Amino acid sequence: MMNTFAAVSPLKLLEKTSRRQLGKGNMGVLIARAGVGKTACLIHIALDKIFRQEKLIHVSLEESPDKTASYYDVIFSDLVKNKVPIDEREYRSCIEKHRVILAYLNRSFDTARLATSLTNLKNELDFPPDTLIVDGLDFENAERRIFEGLEEIATGFQVEIWLSALSHRHIRERNENGIPYPCHGVDGFFSIIMQLTTGSSGVFLQLL
């Protein structure tokens, strides 16, 4: 299952870099406009990790755990439609063993609360995560302390963290490194920055 899924994973793009992976203690971010597929891309990354038998925590700031879980089912269905040979029972079993979903809705997200949850999962459920997916963080309005807190979690818990960032068509601001809004002021926190863009022939993922 791992080999067949790896062929369609967004992380395959990292094989072209000297790093080859994000790595524990580091953060990566995926930039895209609304509706382009940020969440779907993050879930592809999550499934790549899960199918490697790694423990993953999906942190949603906008959707309930049930809604988030349904996105995984949709991605799975798409893979089946595209004739990726994945056994459904094996998939379900792997997901149940290796994924936990946390939801912080109505602006309740705080890195201290997240750190407490991670500690509890490790100590009480023997679930020390290898990877965190953080979907829905408002980069435009997030204070710098949020990114500092996530960086501390990445290093303190020795996890890699993937985030999504919402861009806008009408905002073309970039910093001196060519990193676009809304990551232009916080790019120093990220070891890998990727962007989803649309074109006449489809959706494209590129490293920045």
130 is in which domain, residue-wise? Answer: 2-207
CATH code where residue 54 lies: 3.40.50.300
Encoded tokens for 55: 């423990």
pLDDT in tens, 146-169: 999 999 999 999 999 999 999 888
pLDDT at 34: 84
- What's the total number of domains in the chain? 1
pLDDT in tens, 103-129: 998 888 999 999 999 999 999 999 999
Q: What is the pTM for the complete model shown?
A: 0.88
Residues paired with 99 in a beta bridge: 56
pLDDT at 3: 53
Reply yes or no on whether the pLDDT at 7 is more than 70: no
Reply yes or no on whether the pLDDT at 1 is more than 60: no
Of residues 183, 145, 143, 184, the one with CA closest to residue 164: 183
